[in-house]
Amino acid sequence: MTAWCATALLMLLIAANPAAPAGNERREEEEEFGGGRGLFLLEKSKQVVKTEAGEVKVVKGFGWKGGPSPMHLGFISMEPNSLYVPQYMDSSLILFVRRGEAKVGWIYKDRLVEKQLKIGDIYRIPAGSTFYIANTGRGQRLQMISSIDTSESLGYGSFFISGGSNPTSVLAGFDSHTLATAFNRPHRLHQGRGLRAREEVNLHDAGDPNWGRGKGKQRWGGGKNMRMAEAPELRPVEERTRTPRRCPHAYNLYQRTPDFKNDYGWSIAVGEDDYAPLKHARAGVFLVNLTAGAMMAPHINPTAAEYGVVLSGAGSVQVVFPNGSLAMNAEVAEGDVFWVPRYFPFCQVASRSGSMEFFGFTTSARKNRPQFLVGAGSVLRAMMGPELAAAFAAGEDHLRKIAEAQGESTILPPWPRSERSPELWSQ
Ligand SMILES: *[C@@H]1O[C@H](CO)[C@@H](O)[C@H](O)[C@H]1NC(C)=O
Ligand SMILES: *[C@@H]1O[C@H](CO)[C@@H](O)[C@H](O)[C@H]1NC(C)=O
């Protein structure tokens, strides 16, 4: 057992309803479409948990009428020695560890498994599986970004297993006779007297100020939306049961060789073939790093919408409507969230002052294979011929010259500002 376990104070983060929009809300979302800094920036985040131990913010994604349910993004930030209390959700999560270390405990095939996660790891928690998250980084803040797949959601979010007045355990809803029968233990379970260490189970109210007799009580105590107790000996699971067990592994993005790499950056796309749990999650994951001024060439995602988060640096994101008009050209910086509907052409450009790293989720577990429109290996190059030239009303040779001027593919070098842009489409 590590030292921190023995001495840690557990801070209980309480989530109110970090989830999914029900029918009505969804319509509102569609009405909000547009406005702000850009049509495809998701600027409104909702704080669903805020305590001294940390916070959870949710940025809601968009749904189209009749389309698949939207994906939301959760931003989880936890102080050292904090615990996100046991709960299950009506949405499935893919956690990405942005900073710090975490231990995720969850029920897998009826048994508790614990997974230690480090920076760069992704890990899936299915809807309906009870889980907790502990910050195990010594003196370190834990930051995670999570996809929230609402396709199975009823719009409630979290269901808490343990808790008192806030959150209230789902067990508290049963009547006392039922509880006495279920626990084979009468009355004390439902006196509303608060939890007494490990002897009694508090289901109806945790208002007892003596609850959690820990020495650090004053440190966090007081707020109604948080609670703490002396750590109940956070033993690793192996010690609890002796049988080491297999559980789904995590997948580390930073240890993977990029799928594409050149002098101007690299990109990684992870799908179900790389990490099987994504298959059930209906999501893919990507990570891109552009050097200063570099551009991810104009491209489309033929199979999925994409939700991106700028992890570091700054730049811009351009999205184009199907009718060929500009839908958004927005400056973005660390922490900004953008989304791009399936089929919509778009590109990202790093600012000239430094590299830009962005991470995100796609709404399909199939490996996202973007189709590049311009550059070597692009649709324009592959389809070069009289058909294309006819449609551009250009001579084929002229068009070929234009399309082949760009020798790089996928991630393109900055265009020198000093040079005048040639008139590409006039002959
Ligand atoms: C991204 O690229 C820059 C160089 O352009 C580099 O300094 C930085 O460490 C890279 N980020 C990651 C996460 O590899
Ligand atoms: C293109 O489509 C968008 C979205 O449907 C619309 O707002 C815009 O006015 C259209 N522009 C043109 C030039 O037709």
pLDDT digits (tens, 9 = 90+) for 288-344: 999 999 999 999 999 999 999 999 999 999 999 999 999 999 999 999 999 999 999
Q: Which of 77, 60, 78 lies closest to 69 in space, CA to CA? A: 60
- Mean pLDDT calculated for residue range 43-69: 82
- In this structure, the residues whose C-beta lies within 6 A of any atom of ligand 2 are 321, 323, 325
**CA 263, 347, 328, 417 torsion: positive or negative?**
positive
- Least confident segment among 115-124, 226-235, 379-388: 226-235
Cα–Cα dist 108/201, whole Å = 24
Q: Report the separation in Å between the CA atom of 289 and the middle of ligand 1, taken as the mean of its atom positions.
A: 6
Q: Report the separation in Å between the CA atom of 38 and the middle of ligand 1, taken as the mean of its atom positions.
A: 27
Confidence of residue 165 (pLDDT cuts 50, 70, 90): low
Q: Ligand 1, from 260, 291, 334, 355: best to mutate by most atoms within 8 Å of Cβ?
A: 355
**245-271: pLDDT as tens digits:** 678 899 999 999 999 999 999 999 999
SS3 content of the chain, % helix, strand, coil (to 5): 15, 35, 50
Which residue lies with its CA nearest to atom 4 of ligand 1? 291
Q: Using the atom order of ligand 1, give the atom closest to the CA of residue 354.
A: 5
- Residue 355 Cβ contacting ligand 1 at under 6 Å: yes
Q: Report the separation in Å between the CA atom of 323 and the middle of ligand 2, taken as the mean of its atom positions.
A: 6
Best CATH choice for the domain 48-162+197-240 from the list 1.10.132.50, 2.40.50.140, 2.60.120.10, 2.30.30.90: 2.60.120.10
Ligand closest to the CA atom of residue 34:
2
Q: Report the separation in Å between the CA atom of 384 and the middle of ligand 1, taken as the mean of its atom positions.
A: 35
Cα–Cα dist 335/339, whole Å = 13
Indicate the residue type of 340: V
Matching fold, domains 3-32+256-412 and 48-162+197-240? yes
Q: Which of 248, 245, 250, 279 lies closest to 123 in space, CA to CA? A: 250
Ligand closest to the CA atom of residue 354:
1
- Mean pLDDT calculated for residue range 357-386: 91
Q: Using the atom order of ligand 1, give the atom closest to the CA of residue 254.
A: 13
- Residue 135 Cβ contacting ligand 1 at under 6 Å: no
Give residue limits of the domains in the chain.
3-32+256-412, 48-162+197-240
Ligand closest to the CA atom of residue 254:
1
Which fold would CATH assign to domain 3-32+256-412? Answer: Jelly Rolls (2.60.120)
Cα–Cα dist 394/398, whole Å = 7
Q: Which residue carries 């299950």 as its tokens?
A: 88
- Mean pLDDT calculated for residue range 111-121: 94
